[in-house]
Amino acid sequence: MIRMALRPGSILLGVDTLGFESLILFVSDLEESRAFYVDGLGLPVVFEDDVIVVVGGPAGRVVLHRNDRGHDQRGIFPAGDGVGGAAVRFVVEDPDECERQAAEAGLPVVWPAQDAAWGRFVVLADPDGRSVVLARMNRPDAPVLS
């Protein structure tokens, strides 16, 4: 259970979250984003309709959400009226191989595979220009996809 705070030193909201469910990315072209995340990165589709595509699995999900409409008359979340700045990081075994495969598939490589204090990574760009980091983490508790 996680206790949420507005900022360091602030009063707790009193809401107990049960865990992380998903990250919602508002996208300009749902079809193009689906192709990148599903066909390009190989993420499994959990659910899809004409407004969203949910990809991922038990470790976490990414909701690709059209930025021009919602499921009903309420529209979309107030913060989601455009494509915002965000980066998504996925754990992989071999960032160098991911870079090779991405380049071969014509996916945009923004930063080539390189080392950082926290691991080795390569950065791609999704269709909206968001950074998609494919990383092998140095943490022993980081999940490894197989």
State the residue range of the domain holding 49.
Answer: 14-71+83-137
Q: Which one-letter amino acid corresponds to residue 93?
A: E
- CA torsion sign for 45, 47, 53, 59 is negative
Order of strands across the sheet with 109-116? 87-91, 131-137, 119-125, 109-116
- Give pLDDT tens digits for 34-53: 999 999 999 999 999 998 99
Q: pLDDT grade, residue 1 (50/70/90)?
A: very low
CATH number at residue 27: 3.10.180.10
Q: What is the pLDDT of residues 54-78, one digit of tens each?
A: 999 888 899 998 888 777 766 655 5
Hunting for tokens 């079809």 — which residue is that?
31
Other residues' Cβ atoms within 10 Å of the Cβ of residue 27: 26
Sign of the alpha-carbon dihedral angle for 115, 120, 122, 126: negative
Residue 2 in any domain: the answer is no
Answer yes or no: are the C-beta atoms of 46 and 55 closer than 8 Å: yes
Q: Is residue 89 domain-resident?
A: yes
What distances in angstroms separate CA 125 from CA 82, 109, 130, one per listed residue?
17, 7, 5
pLDDT at 29: 94
Residue 25 has pLDDT above 60, yes or no: yes
Cα angle 130, 113, 58; round to 5: 60
Number of structural domains the chain divides into = 1
Averaged pLDDT, 119-145: 81
Contact partners, residue 10, CB within 8 Å, separation at least 6: none
Most confident of 66-70, 78-82, 99-103: 99-103
- Say how far apart CA 60 and CA 63 lie, in whole Å: 10
Residue 95 above 90 pLDDT? yes
* pTM to 2 decimal places: 0.70
